[in-house]
Structure 1
Amino acid sequence: MNTELLEFPFESISYNILPGTTDYECIKHALKLKSSAQFRTEVGTINDNVHIKDIRVNENHFFNYQIIKPKSSTVSKKVIFLLHGFNERDWSKYLPWAKAICNGTGSSVVLFPLAFHMQRAPKQWSEKREMYKLSEQRKKRYPNIINSTLSNVAISMRLHAMPQRFIYSGLQTYYDIIQLIENFKSGKNPQISTDFQFDFFAYSIGGFLAQILKLTNYNNYFSNAKLCLFCSGTTFNRFSSVSKFILDSEANVALYSFLIEHFDKFLKKDNLLKHYILDDHLEGEVFHAMLDYQKKRDFREALLKKYEDQIYAITLKKDYVIPSFEIINTLKGAYRDINIKVDEIDFDRDYTHENPFPNTKINNEQISKDFNFVFKKVCDFYNT
């Protein structure tokens, strides 16, 4: 099938939830709120290009998203949203994935970036020379740090300084995707039919967000949406995020401490955070349930059970970032009474979570075979 790649502008109307001011408003509740979150730049090296206030990052407010679609003059009635992994800077890894899904299902595939990732991040965060300098300075400040690299230093410094960013950028992306769906429904994209149907293909941390979207089911938009998880599906505290491509150890400890060990205490201190997590925001409640495997388990598993026929996961046996057995524990439930299908795969070659299908001449034929095997399973799930 011939496909084409198209690009469309997007303006996030939810950017004003981000850190960078003190006065906020919840539109749903017509409520004025204040945040007590403090900007800290003493963690790591102080650098304005890295520690810029989130609400002022224009690249995250105004950006383009892409669609890969069958090359035809007709508008698309079937859409699959592809959500990527953590700390990603370009779509090159995902374009073959999107094309395989488009070819195998006839659906248009929407490549939508998470907040502060891909084209939504300032270019300075990808400048190798500057990021290398920051990483070397960070290593001197924290002599026991593990896996600090030019690839992860910007996001590590920002999350180390303010772990709340993980929540607020996640909420922004959650609302952005709902905004995009409503844009499609109102005819604002000429390539998408207003009565379109949609599903999700979500990898790594993108699956964490996709689960929240599915289980929250805002306005019943997601009632019939299928969710295919690839190397994803577990609660946050069962990830292992220390990687030269994801986070360094200092950022990981700070994030874990905030979200898992002391989250309830932080909620008491921050009225804005407390409102979105505890006060009549189902998306916040589902997010909370997806943090810690032990907490809110009954609530989380009841929702997974409700949508068990619409969720499918493919895991990799040697995935050490999001382990296969942890995905099974979360999706099938503590008592294995949730009938979500999980296929565990093990390739007969080297691979990693971050790069399951490396672009290399070594084992090229085997990699192509593995790729086709995985995406046939993906497309079969959507086509049945």
Structure 2
Amino acid sequence: MSYIDRCQNLKLAFDSGASDIDNMEFLEYQFHSLAHDILPGKTNYYCESHKLDLIENMLSDNEIGEIQNDVHIEDVIVEENQNFTYKILKPKGNDSVKKVTFILHGFNEKTWDKYLPWGQAICEKTQCAVVFFPIAFHMQRAPKHWSDKKAMFELSKKRKDQFPNIIGSSLSNVAISMRLHSKPQRFIWSGLQSYYDIIQFIEECKSGKHELIDKDFSFDIFAYSIGGFLAEILKLTNYRNYFNETKLCLFCSGAVFNRLSPVSKFILDSEVNVALYSYLVEHFNSFLKKDNLLHHYIEEDHLEGKVLHTMLEYKNRRHFREALFKKVENQIYAIALKGDSVFPTYEIENTLKGASRDINIKVEELDFPYSYSHENPFPMNKQESQNVEESLNIVFNKVCDFFKQ
């Protein structure tokens, strides 16, 4: 079977819930995010871990919020982000799963299509179950309207009229670009919600509430692009020592936020990139002083917030970040691509190996014998189908060898 045929069969099975795919099966489960009430859209907040009432003192939205109200609905009321389904791919016949690999996807992703052969390779080569867990407001956690091609094409036209010098605006990225441009703090809060959701998932499994996953299960993480940002925070924070034995494999990922180049018609446009950099890097300390809620989660007794903060800007608390990476240097492996302009290899190395190159995290650079990009490392190209298949096998043989060490 060709690579393209295999991808199409996997997509059909994933979408339809077919139970037999080369001795593997997809199963679907429901999830309710308990952390959704941390999101923008309220005035009064409550930190359960500190029994503390908090008030958001955030600046008002940018004027671009006027363009399309159904894109700028308040985050806290988006039903799809609170209650959603997720899929697990597992070897057929295993009624109780004791080993899991999470797949964490990239920024502005709307479908799992490209990840399905990745998950199949991991499941087949390690015989563990693969959890396709969506980040907040991505994949099945976003309103379908944000992916409506006609509506988003019209919205992109309006955005280009408003910003004549904009680069990279497209129907694919206009919804997320407008939302983050209007409220750059969404990057922080949706990231923290995603962090808490995965912790919630792990704790539900450990308490025996998951019908498939054994309460004594172990798990690793395969993370791509911005998913690696979330995975690094999870690993370095090591909440309640849940991640003591977790191995983290980063693919096209690993650098801190201010060393990325995310302007692309598939990721973010240039206007929101400037707004995010201004908020998260140049003026973040100023916002921390003005916003009680933000200050509590980033500057006070929340290690996840402190780790997130150091992952935003290379020089910020660099020694703190590098000491955390040093502790887990044997449990992290990164694969970079020579042709990746979003996560360049040298920036991944700067973060993972440290400024003095004294952190022994393996960063391996690969290149493929066909045209590829960060967003599409294994393209559906009939003429290059065999080369793409071989390259995918090379990558995931390395990934799975690392997981099995």
Q: TM-score, normalised by structure 1?
A: 0.99
SS in 1 for 2:30: strand
Confirm whether residue 79 of structure 1 aligns to residue 124 of structure 2: no
Candidates 143, 168, 180, aligned match of 2:189: 168
Shift of 1:143: 0.5
CA contact (8 A) 1:35 1:273 kept: yes
- Superposed, which structure 2 residues align to 1:45-84 within 5 Å? 45-84=66-105
Q: Separation in 1 of the partners of 2:396 and 2:52?
A: 46
Give the aligned partner of residue 205 of structure 1: 226
SS in 2 for 1:32: strand
CA contact (8 A) 2:220 2:246 kept: yes
Q: Separation in 1 of the partners of 2:127 and 2:390?
A: 21
Give the aligned partner of residue 347 of structure 1: 368
Q: Separation in 2 of the partners of 1:323 and 1:71?
A: 38
Q: TM-score, normalised by structure 2?
A: 0.94
After TM superposition, which residue ranges in structure 1, 4 or more long, deviate above 4 angstroms?
A: none
CA deviations 1:75-105 (Å, max 9, x no partner) are 1110001100000001011111001000010
Give the aligned partner of residue 219 of structure 1: 240
Give the aligned partner of residue 158 of structure 2: 137
Instruction: Give the letter aligned to residue 354 of structure 2.
Output: G
Give the aligned partner of residue 298 of structure 2: 277
CA contact (8 A) 1:41 1:51 kept: no
Q: Separation in 1 of the partners of 2:160 and 2:270?
A: 11
SS in 1 for 2:382: coil
Candidates 355, 376, 383, aligned match of 1:362: 383
- Superposed, which structure 2 residues align to 1:160-309 within 5 Å? 160-309=181-330
Confirm whether residue 112 of structure 1 aligns to residue 138 of structure 2: no
Give the aligned partner of residue 351 of structure 2: 330
Instruction: Give the letter aligned to residue 137 of structure 2.
Output: F
Candidates 373, 380, 383, aligned match of 2:401: 380
CA contact (8 A) 1:45 1:138 kept: no
Instruction: Give the letter aligned to residue 301 of structure 2.
Output: D
Shift of 1:42: 2.1
Give the aligned partner of residue 12 of structure 2: none
Candidates 135, 143, 150, aligned match of 2:171: 150
SS in 2 for 1:362: helix
SS in 2 for 1:366: helix
Q: Separation in 1 of the partners of 2:96 and 2:65?
A: 49
CA contact (8 A) 2:136 2:193 kept: yes
Shift of 1:40: 2.0
Q: Separation in 2 of the partners of 1:73 and 1:127?
A: 38
Structure 1 residues 31 and 44: CA distance shift in structure 2, 3 A: closer
Q: Separation in 2 of the partners of 1:136 and 1:204?
A: 28
Q: Separation in 2 of the partners of 1:264 and 1:41?
A: 20
Q: Separation in 2 of the partners of 1:50 and 1:36?
A: 23
Give the aligned partner of residue 114 of structure 2: 93
Give the aligned partner of residue 35 of structure 2: 14
Shift of 1:37: 2.0
CA contact (8 A) 1:44 1:138 kept: no
Confirm whether residue 31 of structure 1 aligns to residue 52 of structure 2: yes
Q: Separation in 2 of the partners of 1:73 and 1:308?
A: 32
CA deviations 1:20-64 (Å, max 9, x no partner) are 010000111111000022452621652221000000100000001
Cα RMSD after superposing both structures: 0.9
Gaps of 5+ in 2: 1-21
Q: Separation in 1 of the partners of 2:165 and 2:394?
A: 41
Gaps of 5+ in 1: none
| More deviation, 70-79/351-360 | 70-79
CA contact (8 A) 1:45 1:134 kept: no
SS in 2 for 1:8: strand
Q: Separation in 1 of the partners of 2:62 and 2:288?
A: 22
Q: Separation in 2 of the partners of 1:296 and 1:104?
A: 38
Q: Separation in 2 of the partners of 1:161 and 1:38?
A: 11
Q: Separation in 1 of the partners of 2:62 and 2:34?
A: 27
SS in 1 for 2:114: coil
Q: Separation in 1 of the partners of 2:236 and 2:103?
A: 17
Instruction: Give the letter aligned to residue 302 of structure 1.
Output: A
Shift of 1:74: 2.8
Aligned pairs, number: 384
Q: Separation in 1 of the partners of 2:362 and 2:209?
A: 36
Shift of 1:270: 0.5
Shift of 1:240: 0.5
SS in 1 for 2:324: helix
Shift of 1:73: 3.9
Shift of 1:18: 0.1
Shift of 1:188: 1.6
